[in-house]
Amino acid sequence: MLLLIGTSDLKRNHGMKRFLILLMTLAWAALPQTAAACGAETDCLIGERTYRVRLPEGAADGAKLGAIIMAHGYRGTAAGIMRNQNLAALADELGVVLVATKSANEDWDIPGVPSNVASTGAEELAYYDAVLAAMQDRHNVDPARIMMTGFSAGGMMVWTLACHRSGSFAGFAPIAGTFWDPVPESCQGPVANIVHIHGDADPTVPLEGRRIAQTRQGSVPQAVEMYQRYGGFGPAQQTPRGRLRCDMRENPAGAILDFCLFSGGHSFTVDFVRSAWGRLAAAGLI
C-alpha cells in the first residue's frame, strides 16, 4: 500500500515523519538478501562482517552445489582470493561455489594469535556459523559438500574449525598452517576429514613452529599426532600424490587424516586445493 502525505502535513507532524522513516527502514531490512546482491567483486554483508562468493559457470537454476570456502593468509583479503583466476577455473571445473571469507582485522582471532593471545576464537566460530547459514539460505549450497581450506594464517583458521566445527564441513584442507601454541590436547565434535599440506622447507611456518612476538606457532607433526589419537586413526600408508608425499590414515568409521609434504617452502598452488578435493571425493566423503 502506498501512503501519500503532503509536504505541509509532514512539516506539521514530525511524529508521522519519524514513523514513515521507520516503516521504510523495516521494509528495506525485510527484503531478501540474495546471491545477486553480492558476488566475487562485491562484499556480502553478514552482520558487521563480510565474505565474497562466486557461483560456477553454467550452474543450473535451483541446483544444490558443493562449495570450497577459503580463508586468506595474514593481511590478506577476500577480494585477493577472488582475483585468483586459477581458483575460479578450479571452481568451474568442479562445479562448486567458491567462497572467500574475511577476518575482521589483519589476522584471524584464534587462540594464541600474537594480536590476541588470550582469544578463545569464539567470534570467528560465530562468524563461520553465520557464513555457513548464508551459504544455504542465499546461495543454495549443499551443506554435505563443503570443503574448508586456507593458506598460512588461513590454514590456522582451518585447523581451529576442524577442532571446533568438525560437523559443519565435509572436509578440511589446511595448507601451510597449524595451531598456535599450545596445540590442543583434544578437539570437539565428530571426527573430521583432514588433508594437511605443507612444504618440507617452509621458513615462515616451519613444521616444528617458531616463536613470533610473545607466542609461538605450534608443531605440525604434534597437531597431526593429536588428531590421530582423537580420531582413532590407524597407521599411515605412505602414498605419492602428484608432487605430494602423503601419509594417509583412515579410522574404522571411514574418516581420513592425510599429512602431505612437498619439496619447497611457504607456497600455495591451486593444485593443492584440487588434490584435497579429489582425495575427499575419491573416498566418497564430499
216-242 mean pLDDT: 97
Please report, for the chain, the start and end positions of each structural domain, with discontinuous segments joined by +: 1-31, 38-282
Secondary structure percentages of the chain, helix, strand, coil, to 5: 35, 25, 40
Q: State the CB neighbour count (10 A cutoff) for residue 238.
A: 8
State phi, psi for 281 to the nearest 5 degrees: -65, -40
Residue 185 CA to its chain's centroid (Å): 23
Q: What is the pLDDT of residue 2?
A: 32
**How confident is residue 66, by pLDDT bands cut at 50, 70 and 90?**
very high
Q: Which residue has the higher pLDDT, 18 or 264?
A: 264
SS3 193: coil
Q: CA-CA distance, 162 to 26, in Å (whole number)?
A: 38
Q: Which triple of cell numbers denotes residue 127?
A: 562468524
Residue spans of beta strands (DSSP E) within 102-140: none
Amino acid identity of 30? A
* Lowest-pLDDT choice from 35-39, 77-81, 124-128, 212-216: 35-39
* Lowest-pLDDT choice from 17-26, 83-92, 224-233, 243-252: 17-26
173-196 mean pLDDT: 97
pTM of the model: 0.86
Q: What is the pLDDT of residue 10?
A: 33
Residue pair 130/260 in contact (Cβ under 8 Å)? The answer is no
Q: CA-CA distance, 217 to 208, in Å (whole number)?
A: 8
The CATH number of 38-282 is 3.40.50.1820
Q: What is the pLDDT of residue 59?
A: 79
For the chain, the average pLDDT equals 89
β-bridge pairing 237-241 and 194-199:
unpaired
pLDDT tens string 148-183: 999 999 999 999 999 999 999 999 999 999 999 999
